[in-house]
Chain A
């Protein structure tokens, strides 16, 4: 069992729907990252969380440290949001390493 689990693995939704992608982890962490991998392959960092909630445009990321769980929400989803969303955590005993989730492939249909 991977230390970072994402769900669902694949998600297809209609344009305009509210999207939730989940990330659960089994280790104590210092930080959690959400990244986006575009269909063309490029990877960009979306959020870094150590507590609470962050918002950027239509994207909202939350983390519950006690429950070892984070969610990434997309409001008013658009086909351009179609991508793979990846969760990665920084274990508390290593400032250098990240443990990566397998990613959630999101397709938004017009």
Chain B
């Protein structure tokens, strides 16, 4: 069984479109994350939810909106896609959200978004 899964794996779309990426974890973790990995391979935290509550909300355009219907799911909706949104988006989860204190994060396989 996949611990952290994301769909779709690849997403090619036109500028201006709205798209969603879904993430699910079956590890029973309380915290889920969205990261963006750009062409330079830096991982940048976008959002983190703990038990459906937003705990990290970095400087991200408000075209990006996370939604957590329950603690096992964290979806990312992107409005009015721009060329610069092209990147790989990773979902991750951890037990209590304490990665800074040493807790292990488990990553999904990534969603490769290409905006044309």
User: Which residues of A come within 8 Å of B, CB atoms?
Assistant: 30-31, 33, 37, 41-45, 48, 50, 84, 86, 88, 90-91, 94-98, 100, 102-103
User: Which of B45, B100, B109 has a CB less than 8 Å from the CB of A41?
Assistant: B109
Beta-carbon contacts under 8 Å, B1-39 to A: none
In the docked arrangement, what's the CA distance between A90 and B98, Å? 9
Beta-carbon contacts under 8 Å, B42-71 to A: 42-45, 48, 55-56
Interface secondary structure of A, over-half rule: strand
Q: Which residues of B contact A44 (CB under 8 A)?
A: 107
User: Which of B90, B92, B100, B110 has a CB less than 8 Å from the CB of A90?
Assistant: B100
- CB atoms of B100 and A91 under 8 A apart: yes
Q: Which residues of A contact B41 (CB under 8 A)?
A: 37, 84, 102-103
- CB atoms of A97 and B45 under 8 A apart: yes
Q: Which residues of B contact A96 (CB under 8 A)?
A: 48, 55-56, 97-100
Say yes or no: is B74 at the interface (Cβ < 8 Å to chain A). Answer: no
User: Which of A43, A86, A95, A100 has a CB less than 8 Å from the CB of B101?
Assistant: A95
- CB atoms of A30 and B100 under 8 A apart: yes
- CB atoms of A98 and B102 under 8 A apart: no
